[in-house]
Structure 1
Amino acid sequence: MLGLPRGEVFLVSWTKEWKEAFLNEKKLIEKLIGEYMIDIQHIGSTAVPHLKAKPIIDIAIVLERFEDGLKCIAPLEKLGYKYRENVLPERYYFNKGEPRTHQIHMYEKGNKYLMEQLKFRNHLINNDAARIEYEQLKIQLSQANPSNKHQYAEEKTDFIRSILNIING
């Protein structure tokens, strides 16, 4: 299953189809804006095997120069993405679909938010106990905030910070 209706928060069980959905989207994106990209990564909970997640594919695109992101807006709109200005700090943010199926977070190389995303994802992939603990928290928060994605996200912050503190020593 892929797609989260506006205003809803719910989790579904992980599926290998999410990786395939990312790889398919990656090919489309690379064809249109590959000249500006250094890297493209599957991030967020759908990138972590066996972790329940909101059914949205999160994609991180790494740019050599931040201002190149402006050149990517029109091509990504051809794929159905909508650019959302000033949604999240230090990135270009796009979403696709209604219900929403994909999100792009476009960063300049070395961006601290990008580095945190990748570190957290990798830690959950490699640490079953942390993945299970995070999943239990996500289940609890999704049930407590079924129509408030901002509250759901905010209440995950302390756990994410604690993991990043462990990783960063």
Structure 2
Amino acid sequence: MTFPWGEDRVGLHKDVVRVAEPDPLWAEVFAWAARRLRPALDGLAVAVEHVGSTSVPGLPAKPIVDIAVGLSGTATEAAVEAALAPLGYRYLGDAGDDGGWLYVLETRPAFRVLHLHGVRYGDQRWHDYLRFRGVLRRSAAARDAYEHLKRDLAARHAADRPGYTAAKTGFVTRCVRGG
């Protein structure tokens, strides 16, 4: 897989937590990936969306682009995996409510530049991805609070990605549920 950008602005080792300053390149990376994903997933996906912190202009983030793919009701794990493998995506398994079918794009072993979450189009997880992105895009207060939380957690969980992710769950849930 040829990734057209260097590792200085996009990507992170899977065991490292680092919050980077906002970078407009993240939107370019999403656009590049979406142009490749849409034809590859033809008939399997209804929508491809840039989600997570890198999708929110001005918000610091781990420099890994998150993509939610809204899958059709007939898409199977095997069919999606077969469609994504030629693009270089590696299937990590079904994360269930914590992210759907998870795929990663790496530029070298364990150095991830994209996380792809395959979820059923229109289901709760799909709506949660879009709601959370919407809250962060609309609310400066939510963005500021999330930035402070992420910076604090990154300092405490610098080598513990699962711990970092788990510690953000309450904030994300409150935003998605409107509380």
Q: Which residue among 88, 92, 101 is the counterpart of 2:101?
A: 92
Q: Which residue of 1 aligns with 2:13?
A: 5
CA RMSD of aligned residues (A): 1.5
Query: Counterpart of 1:150?
Result: 162
Q: C-alpha displacement at 1:66, in angstroms?
A: 5.3
Aligned counterparts of 2:89 and 2:10: Cα–Cα separation in 1: 16
- What runs of 5+ residues in structure 1 fail to find an aligned partner? none
Match of 1:63 in 2: 71
8 Å contact 1:94–1:104 — kept in the other structure? yes
Distance 1:66 1:148, change over 3 A: farther
CA contact (8 A) 2:44 2:74 kept: no
5 Å-filtered alignment, 1:9-158, equals 9-65=17-73, 67-89=75-97, 91-97=100-106, 98=108, 99-158=111-170
Q: Using the alignment, how far apart are the partners of 1:66 and 1:31 within structure 2?
A: 17
Instruction: Tell me, in whole angstroms, the C-alpha distance in 2 between the residues paired with 1:160 and 1:86.
Output: 20
SS in 2 for 1:26: helix
CA distance in 1, matches of 2:51, 2:76: 21
Q: TM-score, normalization: structure 2?
A: 0.87
- Amino acid paired to 2:100: R
Q: Extract unaligned runs of 5+ from structure 2.
A: 1-8
Aligned residues: 167
Bigger shift: 31-40 or 132-141?
A: 31-40
| Distance in structure 2 (CA, Å) of the matches to 1:78 and 1:159 | 36
Aligned equivalents of 2:76 and 2:116: distance in 1? 15
Is the 8 Å Cα contact of residues 69 and 106 (structure 1) preserved in structure 2? no
Q: Mean alpha-carbon deviation: is it higher for 18-27 or for 65-74? A: 65-74
Q: Does the 8 A contact of 1:62 with 1:107 survive in 2?
A: yes
Higher strand share: 2
Q: Percent identity over the alignment? A: 28
TM-score by length of 1: 0.92
